[in-house]
């Protein structure tokens, strides 16, 4: 059995959606067991099926607006997030899914789970939908504002293995997000990274990719520093929300618009679902000694279920062992 820890108290709608998402996962995934970490009285309000689910009581929650995440983790070892992370370190669980504060989760993962040996920097790697019906890996989505080129090579290794094992892509292409497609474009960082990627036999480097191609990419993996990619990702999210609102406004105008809206209701729902992070589940934090999946803070039960499904698949495919082998044998 694959054992998944769930921080039941982290997120905007905890613990209701976490508990319901866990029960949904148990219904649909046969080879998992789930441990919910949280306030036992609050969790019990929503836990109507404890088949392959147990609860570990905790006292304290790391808040979504925590200004000093390192201190919060160190002084709150009995919190739901800290206990769930510690269970991955001790091998009681194979993975954790958490929709709590991102920076606190990253800090806690570094302190309580630790990095893979020789892995210099972790990275947050969300999946976003593309127009071809698949998903694209984006990294780093905010873990490292500044980074060295050789560290980005390690992050690319992780993304390549993830794409091969979890997404089923035999030879995934890696693109470097840049201001132009021409060789030699961008900052010194971008030029150095491009050169390292070109020379590396473990990376199938496509070349530079402009931001306008993110939803219709010529590659399966897009990489940049955390500052650049975070802005790009949030711009996409904001644009998707804005376009959805404008579309609703337009289809509701006038009599024929309302008829059109009624007739295309199913298509509009499908459009919304394709852009929803709920359908993907979460972003894996690359580079850790355990599987850590960060679900959206606003995740509902479907999003949490998909986060658990994603975490189980990463464990099932033994992604960490395969990445570690590449990093250990890296000649750089």
pLDDT in tens, 144-200: 888 999 999 999 999 999 999 999 999 999 999 999 999 989 999 999 999 999 999
pLDDT at position 332 over 70: no
Angle between helices 149-165 and 319-328 (to 10 degrees): 140
pLDDT of residue 131: 87
CA 283/CA 295 separation, integer angstroms: 6
For the residues of 51-104, what is the DSSP string, one character each? TTEEEEE------TT-S-HHHHHHH-TTSHHHHHHHHHHTTS-SEEEE-S-HHH
pLDDT of residue 46: 97
pLDDT in tens, 89-140: 999 999 999 999 888 999 999 999 999 988 888 999 998 888 888 889 999 9
CA nearest to 287, candidates 197, 152, 189: 152
pLDDT of residue 221: 97
Which tokens belong to 188? 């010194």
CA 246/CA 241 separation, integer angstroms: 9
Angle (nearest 5°) at CA 307 between 221 and 268: 80
pLDDT at position 252 over 60: yes
Which tokens belong to 134? 């698949």
Q: If you average pLDDT over residues 201-223, what whole number do you get? A: 95
pLDDT confidence bin for 62, thresholds 50/70/90? confident
Only one residue has tokens 């919304």, namely 272
Q: Which SS3 state, helix, strand or coil, does residue 293 take?
A: strand
What domains does the chain contain, in order, with CATH numbers? 1-119+287-332 (3.40.718.10), 121-278 (3.40.718.10)
β-strand pairing of 123-125 with 282-286: antiparallel
What is the model's pTM? 0.89
For the residues of 20-45, what is the DSSP string, one character each? HHHHHHHHH-TTEEEEEEE-HHHHHT
pLDDT in tens, 22-60: 999 999 999 999 999 999 999 999 999 999 999 999 998
Q: Which SS3 state, helix, strand or coil, does residue 117 take?
A: coil
For the residues of 257-284, what is the DSSP string, one character each? HHHHHHHTHHHHHHHHHHH-GGGT-EEE
pLDDT of residue 276: 59
CA nearest to 321, candidates 127, 182, 117: 117
Could you give the dihedral angle defined by the CA atoms of residues 116, 119, 122 and 123, in that order, rounded to the nearest 10 degrees? -120
CA nearest to 124, candidates 144, 141, 102, 136: 141
Give bridge partners of residue 118 from the DSSP assignment.
none
pLDDT at position 76 over 60: yes
CA 127/CA 332 separation, integer angstroms: 28
pLDDT confidence bin for 247, thresholds 50/70/90? confident
Which tokens belong to 93? 């669980």
pLDDT confidence bin for 79, thresholds 50/70/90? very high
CB 202 within 8 A of CB 157: yes
């Amino acid at each position: 059995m694959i054992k998944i820890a769930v921080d039941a108290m982290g997120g905007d709608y905890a613990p209701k959606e976490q508990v319901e998402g866990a029960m949904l996962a148990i219904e649909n995934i046969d080879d998992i067991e789930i441990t919910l970490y949280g306030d036992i009285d609050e969790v019990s309000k929503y836990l109507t099926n404890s088949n392959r689910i147990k609860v570990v009581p905790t006292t304290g929650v790391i808040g979504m607006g925590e200004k000093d995440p390192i201190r919060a983790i160190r002084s709150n070892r009995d919190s739901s997030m800290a206990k769930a992370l510690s269970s991955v370190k001790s091998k009681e669980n194979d993975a954790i899914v958490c929709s709590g504060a991102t920076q606190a989760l990253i800090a806690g993962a570094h302190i309580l789970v630790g990095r893979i040996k020789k892995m210099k920097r972790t990275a947050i790697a969300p999946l976003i939908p593309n127009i071809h019906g698949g998903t694209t890996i984006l990294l780093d989505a905010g873990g490292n504002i500044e980074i060295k080129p050789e560290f980005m090579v390690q992050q690319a290794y992780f993304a390549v293995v993830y794409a091969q094992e979890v997404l089923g892509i035999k030879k995934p292409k890696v693109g470097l997000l840049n201001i132009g497609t021409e060789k030699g474009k961008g900052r010194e960082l971008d030029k150095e990274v491009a050169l390292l990627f070109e020379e590396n036999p473990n990376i199938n480097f496509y070349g530079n990719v402009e931001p306008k191609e993110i939803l219709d990419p010529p590659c399966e993996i897009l990489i940049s520093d955390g500052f650049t990619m975070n802005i790009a990702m949030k711009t996409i999210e904001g644009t998707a929300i804005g376009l959805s609102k404008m579309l609703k406004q337009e289809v509701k105008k006038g009599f024929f618009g309302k008829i059109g809206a009624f007739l295309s209701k199913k298509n509009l729902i499908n459009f919304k679902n394709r852009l929803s992070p709920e359908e993907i589940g979460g972003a894996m934090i690359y580079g850790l000694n355990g599987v850590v999946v960060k679900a959206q803070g606003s995740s509902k039960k479907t999003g949490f279920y998909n986060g658990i499904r994603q975490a189980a698949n990463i464990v099932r495919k033994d992604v960490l062992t395969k990445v570690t082998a590449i990093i250990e044998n890296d000649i750089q």
